[in-house]
Structure 1
């Protein structure tokens, strides 16, 4: 059984208090830094050569728990200790704990009050400046003005003007008549054109042509499906930091392809999957929703569910708790939240029930034969799909099986 599947099974079998006590004990043992193999030997009394020899501190372990258990080095170490939690906690209970007294010295700081600085006084001059009135000198002509008698000596006697000749009037009249006759000759065609009645042109209105309907072209989106059980989606190509562990049949949108890895979208973040663990060819089958749900109601234990199966996929986490009560355990990773109950757990994605898992079912793949041909089948998993749902079987190495029903 894959280590991630062992972790889900252990979370379903242990309560939150036991896991919290074990996590506190691991942090106390790791301290400022210690290799995971040495820490495992000190906590359990036995050794495990498969564990990492790199040093990890309690802060690294706390960050690993908080970030959704992404580091692949901590995962086998934590799962192995969780499987032996009874022996580890029993051994720790026999070791006396020393008490330490922290001394806290509180220093008082004197507060020196600063005297206020008086603002500078501005003295304003109350007496406005008087403007000196300077009178302008009167104009005195350089040459004296002559008297009226003297001015009369220089004025000539004005004689009456001579009358104009009458011939100029006749010339003006002849010019006016010539201008009038020439203007009439030139403007006659235009005046006649204005007086003639005009035929109104008939305007034929053409019916407006309807606009062609716009063609909406949907962008082509490429997807891949995981073709193997428990695929590690890492933060970078050929990296060791696990962002999310996907299951067979999960569908993701392609972001880009590089070397032998492909980057997929994980609802706001991205991760890289190896090309040999994905497929772009996903067949369809003629399996109806009613036939698939009838198989679930007939072959699985649904006593821990108080509602019909389709009703759960319309619930958020608050409605789920109100319907069947609070879970005894809850965990999260980079993509989902998991609510554990006696009999199985719910996978919650974007605050909505995304999948239902039945644990320890003892269901074999032969029981799926009434559903017809599977969409995908491997040595340890099988996938059936209808129009709305995906039904999957995961087989463990210890004979236990897990069944997941997902809304596509």
Structure 2
């Protein structure tokens, strides 16, 4: 079992008063500075070669407790002492110098015109009326100016008549199209208005995510760093902020951390599993006596409503992202003052119990993940046979 998972299990099993006494003895023993290996031997009377040999002080340990237990150096040392808390508390600790015990105060983690172009109508230019250069005489004036016709010879009359007929015929042939055009309806040239420009389509920026593909993944403060900001679980989804070499930087609700590429995946399949099927399985296969309410109801509660519904937890811890409220039978993961997940500890459920749910979304040697539209159901298998089940609202 990963050391971080052992810590969660120990917090579920060891009451807060016992943990406080143990932390006091640790601070007294470390004093101004001491090797963690030596301190463990003095407190327990036993040796453990796998522990770090770094020299730490009581002040370092106090800062580690208050800072959310991010430094991976203290983690195996503290977990090993929690496992032997009975021996430590029954043995007189070496006290190099008295120091004042600091009370750790837990802070709750509180939480987009296009312009239409109206075409201007083309101004129609009117054809100017003809104005004669001289005024037209009246009919009376014209009658005065007409001289009486002189008599002509008969031959001249015939020639004049033929000429008149020719003129009329020729003029009619030439002028017919123009006269006919006067009686045809005039065609008005229609000016087509240009089509309006399409409105620009504003595309939302693509958001990239990664999912943790293994159990208990250390998210560190810098690539290849040792300071653990948060310990994630298989199936956790994070938004990508940056990429560098073989690491990606992810968003942790206000802060960021780095995770190795070999521990994540960008290809997360989906399965045809309904919410009711998943919840029915949890109601049937898990011990829910300590809850007393329908499972979906808890995801609508903040921490105050949770306490009012099932009582105060016997223990509470925090890290960089969540708060954990411990009860007999399991614990709640609280994120932004909202219940985010329910964990059942020491379930002893085998992998075969999940067969009724079909094919998992992802499966490893020590974990299973099933998902419906709203929920995620996960099995974590410890090396000692103990199993933990988590129901999360996505």
Category of TM-score, reference length = shorter chain: 0.7 to 0.9
Structure 1 residue 351 corresponds to structure 2 residue 357? no
2:373 corresponds to which of 377, 383, 387 = 387
8 Å contact from structure 2 (residues 31, 97) kept in 1: no
8 Å contact from structure 2 (residues 28, 97) kept in 1: no
8 Å contact from structure 2 (residues 36, 53) kept in 1: yes
Structure 1 residue 34 corresponds to structure 2 residue 20? no
Task: Describe the superposition over 1:264-299 as per-residue Cα deviations: whole angstroms up to 9, x where unpaired.
Answer: 110111111011000000000000000000000000
Name the structure 2 match of 1:8: 8
> Any unmatched runs of 5+ in structure 2?
100-130, 132-189
CA separation of 1:377 and 1:57: change in aligned 2, threshold 3 A? same
8 Å contact from structure 2 (residues 212, 236) kept in 1: yes
Name the structure 2 match of 1:62: 62
Find the aligned partners of 2:266 and 2:388 in 1 and give their Cα distance. Answer: 25
Find the aligned partners of 1:329 and 1:379 in 2 and give their Cα distance. Answer: 31
Task: Describe the superposition over 1:293-340 as per-residue Cα deviations: whole angstroms up to 9, x where unpaired.
Answer: 000000000000121111100100011000000000000000000000
CA separation of 1:99 and 1:37: change in aligned 2, threshold 3 A? closer
Name the structure 2 match of 1:52: 52
Name the structure 1 match of 2:139: none
Structure 1 residue 314 corresponds to structure 2 residue 287? no
Name the structure 2 match of 1:241: 227
Q: CA deviation at 1:217?
A: 2.1
Name the structure 2 match of 1:258: 244
Find the aligned partners of 2:226 and 2:98 in 1 and give their Cα distance. Answer: 40
CA separation of 1:278 and 1:96: change in aligned 2, threshold 3 A? closer
* Counterpart mapping for 1:8-407 below 5 A: 8-92=8-92, 215-407=201-393
Find the aligned partners of 1:13 and 1:389 in 2 and give their Cα distance. Answer: 27
**Over 3 Å off, 4+ runs:** 95-100, 206-216
Q: CA deviation at 1:377?
A: 0.2
Count of aligned residue pairs for this structure pair: 306
Find the aligned partners of 1:92 and 1:360 in 2 and give their Cα distance. Answer: 33
Q: CA deviation at 1:219?
A: 1.6
Q: CA RMSD in A?
A: 2.4
Find the aligned partners of 1:210 and 1:327 in 2 and give their Cα distance. Answer: 65
> Any unmatched runs of 5+ in structure 1?
101-188, 190-203
| Superposition TM-score, scaled by structure 2 size | 0.74
SS at match of 1:391: strand
SS at match of 1:91: coil
Q: Could you say which structure has the larger radius of gyration?
A: 1
8 Å contact from structure 2 (residues 31, 96) kept in 1: no
